[in-house]
Amino acid sequence: GENVEQHPSTLSVQEGDSAVIKCTYSDSASNYFPWYKQELGKRPQLIIDIRSNVGEKKDQRIAVTLNKTAKHFSLHITETQPEDSAVYFCAATIPGGGADGLTFGKGTHLIIQP
Amino acid sequence: NAGVMQNPRHLVRRRGQEARLRCSPMKGHSHVYWYRQLPEEGLKFMVYLQKENIIDESGMPKERFSAEFPKEGPSILRIQQVVRGDSAAYFCASSPRPRQATNEKLFFGSGTQLSVL
């Protein structure tokens, strides 16, 4: 089955700086890569996703890049703000990989220092 | 649209008791997925249901856990004879079509935090 590794487990950056979270996946057939943000005690919320036919996608301060050859994808947050503090999860989907096909990373706790 | 609704938000049970977690999908969504999140861990798939059918329960423990999604009413995740290791956050998600078929976005509920004493 698919295996998703996520790094780092904790990331602390100064407000205004950029943050990068990286994930690798094992199955080259994976074709969909969503990112979820989970604030303490709240639900995971989809913040951005990318499909395997695209190398990069951007939405305001958030961008995701995908390198299919290396089987890794990254979340980039620029001009970080206090409200960006949360746990971020990456996920990968294998076609035919079960009912939901989503395999999640273990999460990155992003801390924005004022 | 109220979104995916889960209740209760917090549930405390003693070892050996039963836990029943409820999930009402978003309006118009007939596909429900249950996930478990242990502390410091990601979300682990448990079961996928459509109305009156269990489609995939490959992530469910073989004993004590069951799920249903009746024709009327919410989806229920039932844990019998709970043990301390069942303590976790249980999230429900829904989609309008099978998620896998078209890479539909998943919408999560706020979760139920189960604590077993």
B27 burial type by CB count under 10 A (0-12 exposed, 13-18 middle, 19+ buried): exposed
What confidence score (pLDDT) does residue B34 get?
94
* Selected residues 35-94 of chain A with any CB under 8 Å from a CB in chain B: 36, 42-46, 49, 51, 89, 91, 93
For residue A61, what pLDDT band results from cuts at 50, 70 and 90?
very high
Mean predicted lDDT score pLDDT of chain A:
90
Rounded to whole angstroms, the Cα distance separating B28 from A91 reads 25
User: Residue B100: its pLDDT value, please?
Assistant: 60
Q: How many CB atoms lie within 10 A of CB B58?
A: 12
For A89, the closest of B33, B42, B111 (CB atoms) is B42
Residue B38, pLDDT score: 87
In this prediction, residue B18 carries a pLDDT of 98
pLDDT in tens, chain B (117 residues): 568 999 999 999 999 999 999 999 998 888 899 999 988 778 888 999 998 899 888 889 999 999 999 988 999 999 999 999 999 999 999 888 776 655 667 788 999 999 999
In a mutagenesis test of the B interface, which of A3, A51, A88, A100 is the best target, namely the one with the most B β-carbons within 10 Å? A100
Chain B positions in Cβ-Cβ contact with residue A89 (cut-off 8 Å): 42-43
Closest Cα in chain A, distance from residue B25 (Å): 14
pLDDT for position B56: 86
Judged against a pLDDT cut of 60, whether residue A98 lies above it is answered with no
Count of CB atoms situated within 10 Å of the CB of B71: 6
The predicted-structure confidence for A73-91, as pLDDT tens digits, reads as follows 999 999 999 999 999 999 9
Contacts of A45 in chain B (CB under 8 A): 108
**What number of other Cβ atoms are within 10 A of residue A3's Cβ?**
11
For residue B102, what pLDDT is reported?
A: 59
Nearest by CB to residue B43, choosing from A44, A45, A49, is A44
Q: If you average pLDDT over each of A6-15, A41-50, B39-48, which comes out highest?
A: A6-15
Residue A29 pLDDT greater than 80, yes or no: yes
Question: Closest approach of chain B CAs to the CA of A107, in angstroms?
Answer: 6
Tokens 């682990």 -> residue: B44
Neighbour tally for B83: CB within 10 Å: 12
